[in-house]
Amino acid sequence: MNKKDFDYELPKELIAQQPIAERSQSRLLVMDKETGEVADCQFTEIIDYLKPGDLLVFNNTKVMPARLPGRKKTGGQIEVFIERVLNNQQAKALLKANKSVPLGTEIYFNDQPVLQVTGRQGMFFLVESLDKDSDINTIMEQHGVMPLPPYIQRDSTETDSVRYQTVYAQTAGAVAAPTAGLHFDDKTLNRIKAQGINSAFVTLHVGAGTFQPVKVERIEDHKMHKEWLELDESVVKAVKETKAQGGRVIAVGTTAVRCLETAAQNGELKAYSGDTDIFIYPGYQFKAIDGLLTNFHLPESTLLMLVSALAGRDNIMKAYQHAIEQKYRFFSYGDAMLIVGNN
C-alpha cells in the first residue's frame, strides 16, 4: 500500500488548539469495526458501548516537561528536547539551535551552566548534567515545559501541565501524551468500574518519533522508531481471564495496542519489558485486542494506518470524512473514536 492511500483533506480550523473545558465533554464517534457503521455520541456515552466483563487497557505513562529552552555560553539560543532519560545524569535529546552544536557545548538555564553535550547517536545528542547532585528529572522539573505537538501552534501553559496528562499518569518517561486517555476523568472511570468493566495498566513511553512523517511511498518500507514499554504478568492474567469469559479487550489508545500486540508477537501474550518498533498496518492480524478507543490521527501517519488495520482502510476513511463534515475536533486535544464489534 502507498502512503497516499491514507491521505485526507482536513480544514485547519478542526485541529484542536486548546483542551475542551471538561475532559469528558468531548464528542465520541462510535464505529462498528465489522460493518463500518458510525454513531455520533458524547464521550460520557462510552459506557453504553461497553459490557460488563470487558477489559480496558490504559497506558499509564507520564509526560515529562521535556522541552527546555536554554542558551549557550555565547548567548545564542538552544532548545533541548529530552527524548529519553538514560540514567540519573544522562539523557538522549534533540537540540535546536541556529548553528551546529559541537560536543562539549555547555547549555545554560537562568545564566547557570546545567547540561553539557557529550555525544551523538544519529539524529540525537547525548546530554549530561554538570552537577552530579542534580539529576535529569530534577532539571526538567526546574527548567522544562510541557512538549506540545507541532500542530498545536502556541506556547505551553500551566493548563497544559495538567490537561496534556491523563488523570492516571504514573510512570514518567513520555514526550507526548497517550491522547485517547485524556478524555477520562475520575467520575467517568468510577462509573465504568461500577458497571463491572475491568481495567489494566501498561506503560509505553511515547517518543518524539510518533510525530515523524512516513517518508517512503510504500508503507511496507517504513521503519518505525523505537519506544520503551512494560507489560507485566497481571495484565497477561487480566487479558486471558477476559477472553476466557467472553469479554472484549479494548485498548485505550494506539500505544496500548502496540504494548499488547508486541507482547503477543509469538501468538501468546506474555509479560514484556523493553523496546518495540512494531508497525501495524492493513493486513496485520491482531493477536490481543478486540477494540480500540483512539483520537483522530494525522493524514498519512502510522497511527492512521494502525486504526485502518483494525477496522479497514475504506471504513476508516469514510468515518474520517463523516467526522470532518460533522466538525469533530482533531488530534491530541480533539475528540475520540471508539472502534468495537460485538465479539
pLDDT in tens, 133-156: 889 999 999 999 999 999 999 999
- Write down the pLDDT at residue 196: 97
- Low-confidence stretches of the chain (pLDDT < 50) are none
- Write down the pLDDT at residue 343: 62
pLDDT in tens, 122-135: 889 999 999 988 89
Q: Which of 309, 247, 193 minimizes the C-alpha distance to 239?
A: 247
- Write down the pLDDT at residue 210: 77
Alpha-carbon span 219 to 335, nearest angstrom: 27
- Write down the pLDDT at residue 47: 96
- Write down the pLDDT at residue 212: 80
- Write down the pLDDT at residue 170: 97
Angle at 75 (CA atoms; ends 70, 78), nearest 5 degrees: 35
- Write down the pLDDT at residue 209: 78
- Write down the pLDDT at residue 136: 96
Beta-carbon contacts of residue 261 (< 8 Å; ≥ 6 apart):
278, 280, 286, 287, 288, 289
Alpha-carbon span 95 to 85, nearest angstrom: 15
Give the domains, in start order, of the chain with CATH numbers: 3-63+161-340 (3.40.1780.10), 67-143 (2.40.10.240)
| pTM recorded for the entire structure | 0.96
